[in-house]
A and B are shown apart, each in its own frame.
Chain A
Amino acid sequence: MGYDFELQDRMSVVHPAHGKKNFTLAIDGRLFDARLVPTQNDGEFVLEFEGNRETVFVATRGDVHFVHFRGRAHRVEAINALLQAQRAAAPSGGAETLCAPMPGVVVEVLVEEGDEVEAGQRLMTLESMKLQTPIVAPHDARVAELCLQAGSSFDQGAVLVRLEARDEAEGEAE
């Protein structure tokens, strides 16, 4: 029944444990008194935590909370149950769907939809951080869909190319 939060690549569970405003929270099974009091400045709060009062800055986008605390910025993501289920169900990486390892820009696309490609063949060139990275076919396949064009930028995890098995496609062709 608790809420899962991810911080620094680790998950923690937070339960509400008391009242409405002045919460006691159960964090990974330990109880803490915590209150977050807004100030007149945008994004600035006073955190009352275990008897201490400290200034924190918080900005939230959906389920992602960016928190500036004690001189450092942190990213805390609320992982809801639905999302977790989706992550578990998704084929990890999907051998036939090539995704962007990091955000960047497509420098060039070297194949066209419908092309038969061989294992190791370069499909496109990406650029991130001023470094170019080739995207190669992991196995012999046919290019089912090119999801990005040269010049387009993308985020980490964006689908670049969908590949299909050659024989599978044969039946559908013409």
Chain B
Amino acid sequence: MTLVPGIEKVLIANRGEIVVRVASTLRRLEIASAAIVHPEEADSPAARAVDETCPIDGETPVAAYLDAERIVEIALRIGADAVHPGYGFLSENADFAEAVERAGIRWIGPTPASIRLMGDKIESRRFVANLGYPLTPSANEEDAPSDFAERAQAIGFPLLIKPSAGGGGKGMQIVRAEDELAPAIELARSEAERYFKDGRIFAERYIDEPRHIEVQILADTHGHVLHLGERDCSIQRRFQKLIEETPAPGMERELRDRICAQAVGIARAAGYQSAGTVEFILTPKGEFYFLEMNTRLQVEHPITEMVTGIDLVEEQIRIAAGEVLSFVQEEIRFEGAAIECRICAEDPDHDFRPAVGPLLLVRPADGLGVRFDSGIEAGQTVSTAFDPMLAKVIVHGRDRNEAIRRARDALERTVILGCVTNCDFLGRILAHPEFKAGSVDTGFIPTHAADLARPSMSREERAALLAVAALSNRDFLERVEAVPEPYASIGAWQN
């Protein structure tokens, strides 16, 4: 008997960091855990985090983790009571959710109908507009494909072209002038087809430098819907979130209450169940517009867990088991501030090009108020086959200043060698006076690009690094050994 009656074993249909994360809650709840594992990752922290690994193969590793049919077969074969989809991959695939339920297995997530309604950008916008909430002006291609370009243009530039089935910033194109429109539509359509097997796209007004605010929702199957506060995810690069924090800095209580209430209103109207996130954009004038709903656990969920003390994965599992939420809105306490930094394999000093290579040394930061969520370890090779995110450093402080200090300190103590990462770049953002002042928006990184550039190194620091390299270099050391009197071999440098 586990701590959640009715759920004895859960199959995690994902890979990497989120498998480790979900498995840790399952262990605490005394529920057996299983995960699908591609042969390339047979010896990984994710594979070792679960009680049972289920090999799954495919044309590419990504294809394996997207093989819905096989995953359902595996869940049945191993006798899983429930499937946790994590984030990404099949987490917002209504057909997969339905196939899981049809097999008599619980789906740890919202109903397939909710995923269809809220996970689809066009459908969800229509739904939210009908509720009377404000949206940015937009045009859907499928309403009348022949004049889509004209209708998009009529919204006015700048525009954003997005895949309807999308998420995570994939396939989005900004269009600032008429001549960019046709190629952007074509590119967006092909990327939408590729990422989501769904070529539908839509256009919406692009608001320059808004803030990205999202609200964490929890809803059970008995009609209780509540929010766990907001997250500010404005620090982004090419629509990919890099740093998230809660509470949103400098946000007036009245505005926060209105945004959270609207998120709850949308989730309730949609009959939403499980954990979900309602995303908004907030303009500098304080207007906010519904952006989309993510019908799954988010990458940045730990910051909400830090300030509320609520384990979102546990709540998802209990909701899936049919339990009533064990707390009401007024009982949720928000304590202090939390920040998450996403460590990615990329080189911020060379136009953020993706980095690859074997991880030679990994030493996670730890300490008071620090959480390190990752699926990496030394010996593993970072390739471009998967998402570039390697780890998340999450910190909690009594207030925002303390959280920033802890995050900077934790990033400095995080050692990842063998593959270039954005670790130092994240620290530069946290150290920026405008970030400290809480003036963040989605244009933060391009706006402050010059300030965020790699600082120059002192001569002494450069010399120290070169000394370390020389003293670690086999050829260099062998040469020293080979020449009994090094003074004899030099001379050129001596004045």
Contact = CB atoms under 8 A, between A and B. Distances in A.
A27 B472 contact: no
Contacts of A132: 187, 190-191
Contact of B460 (A50, A56, A78): A50
Given A59-B417, A65-B473, A129-B346, A15 B465 contact: no
B316 interface: no
B353 A27 contact: no
A73 interface: yes
A121 interface: no
A2 B383 contact: no
B454 interface: yes
A129 B493 contact: no
Interface in A59-87: 59-61, 63, 65-76, 78, 80
B468 A12 contact: no
Nearest to A19: B486
Interface stretch (A3-11, A110-118, A162-170): A3-11
Nearest to A63: B473
Contacts of B423: 72-73
B471 A76 contact: no
Contact of A69 (B384, B465, B476, B490): B465
Interface in A10-63: 12-20, 23, 25-30, 32, 34-36, 42-43, 45, 47, 49-50, 54, 56-61, 63
Interface stretch (B7-15, B322-330, B408-416): B408-416
Contacts of A70: 412, 461
A67 B464 CA distance: 10
A130 B424 contact: no
Given A2-B490, A57-B415, A73-B415, A34 B473 contact: no
Q: How large is the interface on B (under 10, 10 to 19, 20 to 34, 35 or more residues)?
A: 35 or more
B489 interface: yes
B467 A105 contact: no
A146 interface: no
Contacts of B493: 2, 13, 15, 26, 29
Nearest to B356: A103
Contacts of A54: 464
Interface string A149-174: 00101011000000000000000000
B466 A7 contact: yes
B471 to A, nearest CB: 4
A17 B421 CA distance: 34
A16 B486 contact: yes
Nearest to B486: A16
A43 B361 contact: yes
B455 to A, nearest CB: 10
A8 B476 contact: no
Interface in B352-411: 352-358, 360-361, 363, 383-385, 388, 411
A130 B168 CA distance: 10
A65 B469 CA distance: 6
Contacts of B171: 130
Contacts, number: 204
Given A3-B476, A80-B475, A69 B468 contact: yes
Contact of B469 (A26, A76, A128, A130): A76
A1 B482 CA distance: 13
B487 A17 contact: yes
B465 A23 contact: no
B469 A67 contact: yes
A14 B467 contact: yes
Given A42-B361, A43-B360, A68 B415 contact: yes
A14 B464 contact: no
A36 B465 contact: no
Given A73-B416, A129-B346, A156-B353, A107 B385 contact: no
Given A69-B464, A104-B354, A151-B59, A23 B413 contact: no
Contacts of B490: 1-2, 15-17, 26
A74 B469 CA distance: 10
Interface in B443-495: 454, 457, 460-473, 475-476, 479-481, 483, 486-487, 489-493, 495
Contacts of B469: 5, 7, 14, 65, 67, 76, 78
Contacts of A14: 466-467, 469-470, 476
A95 interface: no
Interface string B42-83: 000000000000000001100000000000000000000000
Contacts of B413: 71
A59 B470 contact: no
B177 to A, nearest CB: 20
Nearest to A37: B471
Interface string B293-326: 0000000000000000000000000000000000
Nearest 8 A/B pairs, CB to CB: A71-B412, A59-B360, A66-B417, A76-B469, A34-B467, A59-B417, A36-B471, A65-B469
11 contacts: A17-B487, A18-B486, A43-B361, A49-B463, A49-B467, A58-B472, A71-B412, A73-B423, A76-B469, A130-B169, A151-B60
Given A16-B480, A153-B383, 14 more contacts: A1-B491, A3-B475, A8-B349, A8-B457, A13-B493, A15-B489, A17-B487, A36-B468, A43-B360, A72-B427, A103-B384, A128-B384, A129-B354, A153-B385
